[in-house]
Chains A and B, each alone.
Chain A
Amino acid sequence: MAEIQSNEGGGKKKKGGSKQKKISVFVDFTPMVDMNMLLITFFMLCTSLSKPQTMEINMPSNDKKITDADRDAVKASQAITLVLGGGDSIFYYTGQPNYKDYNSLKLSSYKADGIRDFLLKRNAEAVSKINDLKQKKLQLKISQADFTKQVSEIKGGKNTPVVIIKASDRSKYKNLIDALDEMQICNIGKYVIDKITPGELFLIKNLQSKGKLSDGAAK
């Protein structure tokens, strides 16, 4: 410990012999502890332990040179378009938008029984495959590298849905993140964030007015 014990203790002189003083070397650590505590408090208050999470996304290029022909056309049967509206509302339609039938656009929610349920059903094949892989990984049958490779293979498979996320100006940033989150939860590999078109805004209004707009246009 911090005390170096001398045989005699205290500063007693030996009878005869050397006249060296024996000093008990006792270092008081109290100030040291005080200082350390101060430093710890400082570090606890001024630093953060958790590093922020991040989501990596790739956006399509804005390059004007790329014409529509260069882009991969998405099969209508695989396309799901999510439209994020104001007030935490989310709408979706599959395939091509149908402007005549207001019911083609469906209202959903960010809750687990809303859009997630729908996406999981659409992507059931890939989801079950990935769950199997996760089980295998838990039982240490496959390595991490194999796991990520196979997962990306399943996600990029031919029959997986392609999701197009279109956020309206009234939606919040949180809605966008939530929508991107659903992609991760539902194991959807192919998704893109796109600009909203007047057609989609019309669909929302049409749904809210229960088809009055399209009826009026038909007449």
Chain B
Amino acid sequence: MSKVKVARKSTRIDMTAMSDVTVLLLTFFMLTSTFVKKEPVQVTTPGSVSEIKIPETNILSILIDPKGKVFMSMDKQSDMVNALDSVGNHYGITFSEQEKKKFKVSATFGIPIKSMKAYLALKADEQDKVLATYGIPTDSVDNQFKVWIQKARAINPDLRIAIKADQNTPYKVIKDVMNSLQDLRENRYNLITSLKNETANKK
């Protein structure tokens, strides 16, 4: 009787090639992508045919939500701390080192300066909840937005202003923001849009 010999095959798969591929993909993602900034409000930007990309550094972005709340963010953390300092000076409020450190790590800010101290005392997850209900005051009586822009410009003269607004924002809010900017002689700025394909030749 002859036994049927079943060849024992090793079930081990060589993962080296797989590893190569994943590392390659990883490198690609790390080099090409940019981190999504945490934003307190969801904003859908309107589409446009413009194909200019936004520069990466020295950006002061102004975020406007559909209800007209205004938030700001800067890409350099040192600028943010300096701006907080000088805005605080302007309103006669001084911030401790710890408060500055907390402010530095927050991606977007939009708190009336009077409530800033109470806000910075909160924990990070509570901050996120509270932030969406505030916004920088832009009305003519107490235009803190103007002060922020002014101080930020004084700290970093190369700053470029980018406005990111929701497509359903009433023009009235945009007008107020643009007016404040114009008062400060900030006449050049970028409007952030998303891509839309459309050409005039399509008929």
Residues of chain A at the chain B interface (Cβ within 8 Å)? 1-3, 28-30, 32-33, 36-37, 39-40, 43-44, 46-63, 84, 112, 116, 120, 127, 131, 167-178, 180-181, 184-187, 193, 195
- Whole-angstrom distance from the CB of A60 to the nearest CB of chain B? 7
B57, CB-defined interface residue at 8 Å: no
Complex interface: chain A residues within 8 A of B175 (CB): 167, 169, 195
Q: A33-B18, A36-B23 are in contact. Are A131 and B162 (CB under 8 A)?
A: no
Interface of A is mostly: mixed
In the bound complex, CA of A48 to CA of B36 (Å): 6
Across the two chains, which residue of chain B brings its CB closest to A37?
Answer: B22
Total interface residues in chain B, CB < 8 Å: 61
Q: What secondary structure prevails in chain B residues at the interface with A?
A: mixed
Minimum C-beta distance from B132 to chain A (A): 19
Given contacts A55-B50, A57-B189, contact A47 B34 (CB under 8 A): yes
CB-based contact B171/A32 at 8 Å = no
CA–CA, A168 and B182, complex, Å: 18
Q: Is there a chain A Cβ closer than 8 Å to B154's Cβ?
A: no
Is B96 part of the binding interface, using a Cβ–Cβ cutoff of 8 Å?
A: no
Q: Are A29 and B194 in contact (CB under 8 A)?
A: no
Q: Can you list 11 residue pairs at the A/B interface with Cβ under 8 Å? A: A2-B14, A36-B22, A40-B22, A48-B35, A176-B171, A176-B174, A177-B48, A177-B167, A177-B191, A177-B193, A186-B200
Q: Smallest CB-CB separation from A45: which chain B residue? A: B36
B2 CB within 8 Å of chain A:
no
Smallest CB-CB separation from A186: which chain B residue?
B200
Taking the closest CB of chain B, its distance from the CB of A195, in whole angstroms, is 8
Within 8 A of A (CB), among B26-53: 26, 29-30, 32-36, 45-53
CB A183 to nearest CB in B, in angstroms, measures 10
* Nearest 7 interchain pairs by C-beta: A29-B15, A36-B22, A47-B33, A174-B167, A62-B182, A43-B29, A54-B190
List the B side residues contacting A37 at CB < 8 Å: 22
In this complex, what residue of B is CB-closest to A27? Answer: B16
| B contact residues around A169 at 8 Å (CB) | 170-172, 175
* Residue in B closest to A172 when the chains form the complex, CB atoms: B168
Q: How far is the CB of A78 from chain B (nearest CB, A)?
A: 20
Give the chain B neighbours of A112 by CB distance below 8 A.
202-203
Are A1 and B51 in contact (CB-based, < 8 A)? no
Known: A54-B52, A55-B191. 12 other contacts (CB 8 A): A2-B16, A29-B19, A32-B15, A32-B19, A36-B23, A43-B30, A47-B35, A48-B36, A51-B34, A52-B54, A59-B182, A172-B168
Q: In the complex, which residues of chain A have a beta carbon less than 8 angstroms from the beta carbon of B16?
A: 1-2, 29
Looking at A36, A46, A58, A187, the one whose CB has the most chain B CB atoms below 10 A away is: A36
